Structures are given as C-alpha cells and as structure tokens.
C-alpha cells in the first residue's frame, strides 16, 4: 500500500518526494510558460525515477507544439467538429511519440471537454463517444501505453457515473482517474452527493488525484478556488467547517480501493509546507 501514495511533482519535486518517503510521483507541466525547459527536466527526472525504482505517471501534455494553438489542457476528443477531434488525437500522438517507450505506469488525459447537449446534432453523441474511445484505445495500443481519462462533470452528455463505467470499462488500455476536486465540482453542478458517487466510482477508478477547496460553488463561482486553486487535502478537514467534503471519509474510500492516489495541490494556500504537511497527514491511510 505504501507505494500507492504519492504526489504530483510540480511543486514537490522528485527529490523532495523521496525525502518525504514517497515512492510514487506524477510528472506534469503545471503551466504553459517555459514549457521546453520544464519538459527537459521531466525527461531527466523520468530517468532518475527509473534508476531509483520510483513509480511514476505522466499527466499529458508535456510537449506543446505551436500548431495546437489552444490552452494546453483543453481537450476536444468529444467535440462536435471532427477536425477539432482530429487535433486532440494528433496532439496526443505527438506527446506519446516523444515520451515512449518509458516506464510510465499510466498517462492521464483530460477527456470530456465542456459541452452542452444542444451542441450535438440529435442522435450523434453516442457515436462520437464510441469512435473517440475506439481511437484512444488504438493509440494506447500503438504506443504500449495505458491512458486514464480524468473524470469531469463538464460535458452535459457524459457526466453520469454509470455512463463512464459502462463506456470506458470494456477497453483494456483505457481507464478512469477520479480527481476529488473535480468530482466535488461536478457534484455541485450536476446536483449529486459527492460521497455517494465517490464510493460508486472508487470501484471503477484506476487512480486518484487529491485536493480540495472551500465553499459550495464550482470553479469561477467558487471564491476559494479562484484565489487558491487546488488546496492540499489533509486529515481532519470537515464539511461542517466549510471544506468541500470530509477528507478522512474520502480517504477511507480511496485507500480501500488500493489504487494509486497522488496529491495534486497548488502552493497558493499555505505554501509548499502546507502541501508537505498534508502529505504527511494522509500517510496514515497508506503506510
């Protein structure tokens, strides 16, 4: 279980993760500025992780060609426009070509995009979804990679938990990543119970991202998120005290799944030390 718990390496680097007695990291750009130097460092850290037998995953993208022309985490795999879908697939292959072969346990991608049901011509969405999942699975097989699709509630046609389980489950090279912060925001926007859906998704999830927020709004309607972005999860955070959810209850569910769980926190709330303290406080669920 110890090797299942780790951290995103944007703010807590590989060396610091090892000092915290963590044996798992996830590499990610963390932003578009100076991406070339960040990508070079990630490539070097991948080699160091492999030499030290540290498990790692990669949150794509790492390489940002000028021809993509959008925010680096934008995903168009389910866009009504086939040319936009092609753009995302090309972007994915560009990254995998530069990163494989490697010892990466899995790659994380944003998948559903932000769409209303009315954005699709009547009766077309299910075929777009199937075609995109087929294509992702084919690409994953081509590069010998596992792709985890991060759950969001942002697509009005594809946010039900059972839909994610049913549609993604049959693919051998595809899986689901559950992000506690984005699942919470989905619970606000789609009006479902966070803990109920976390328990439901935990059985189908292949990995987790850990962070939290305060307040009852979602994204830009949440003042805490706007100011602090990803607040580190830590033991003892209670919903009655204004936190999004009870951290201990969430961690009990997540740790019971025995799947990788990585802190994905920003420094705006309490700085790097608050992230480290959060990591130390959550170790009890895995160590």
Please state whether the peptide bond connecting residue 61 to the residue before it is cis, i.e. omega within 30 degrees of 0: yes
Q: Tell me what the pLDDT averaged over the chain comes to.
A: 97
Question: What is the average pLDDT across 109-122?
Answer: 97
Whether pLDDT at 1 is above 90: no
Question: What is the average pLDDT across 77-98?
Answer: 98
pTM for this model (two decimals) = 0.97
**pLDDT tens digits, 196-251:** 999 999 999 999 999 999 999 999 999 999 999 999 999 999 999 999 999 999 99
Separation of alpha carbons 153 and 150, rounded Å = 10
Homologous superfamily of 2-285 = Divalent-metal-dependent TIM barrel enzymes (3.20.20.150)
- For the chain, the structural domain boundaries read 2-285
Question: What is the average pLDDT across 130-144?
Answer: 98
């Amino acid at each position: 279980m110890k090797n299942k718990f780790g951290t995103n390496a944007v703010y807590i680097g590989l060396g610091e993760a090892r000092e915290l007695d963590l044996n798992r990291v996830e590499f990610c750009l963390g932003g578009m500025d100076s991406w070339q130097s960040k990508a070079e460092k990630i490539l070097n850290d991948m080699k160091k992780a492999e030499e030290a037998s540290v498990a790692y995953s990669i949150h794509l993208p790492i390489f940002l060609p000028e021809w993509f022309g959008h925010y680096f985490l934008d995903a168009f795999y389910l866009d009504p426009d086939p040319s936009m879908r092609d753009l995302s697939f090309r972007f994915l292959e560009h990254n995998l070509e530069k990163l494989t072969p490697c010892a990466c346990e899995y790659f994380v991608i944003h998948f559903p995009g932000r769409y209303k049901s009315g954005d699709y011509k009547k009766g077309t969405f299910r075929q777009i979804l199937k075609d995109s999942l087929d294509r992702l699975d084919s690409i994953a097989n081509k590069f010998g990679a596992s792709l985890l699709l991060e759950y969001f509630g942002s697509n009005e046609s594809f946010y039900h938990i059972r839909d994610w389980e049913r549609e993604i489950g049959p693919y051998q090279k595809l899986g689901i990543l559950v992000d506690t912060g984005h699942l919470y925001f989905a619970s606000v926007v789609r009006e479902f119970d966070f803990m109920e859906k976390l328990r439901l998704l935990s059985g189908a999830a292949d990995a987790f991202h850990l962070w939290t927020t305060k307040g009852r709004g979602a994204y830009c309607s949440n003042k805490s998120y706007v100011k602090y972005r990803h607040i580190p999860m830590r033991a003892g955070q209670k919903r009655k005290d204004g936190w999004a959810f009870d951290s201990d209850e969430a961690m009990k569910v997540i740790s019971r799944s025995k799947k990788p769980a990585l802190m994905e926190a920003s420094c705006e709330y309490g700085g790097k030390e608050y992230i480290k303290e959060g990591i130390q406080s959550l170790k009890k669920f895995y160590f």
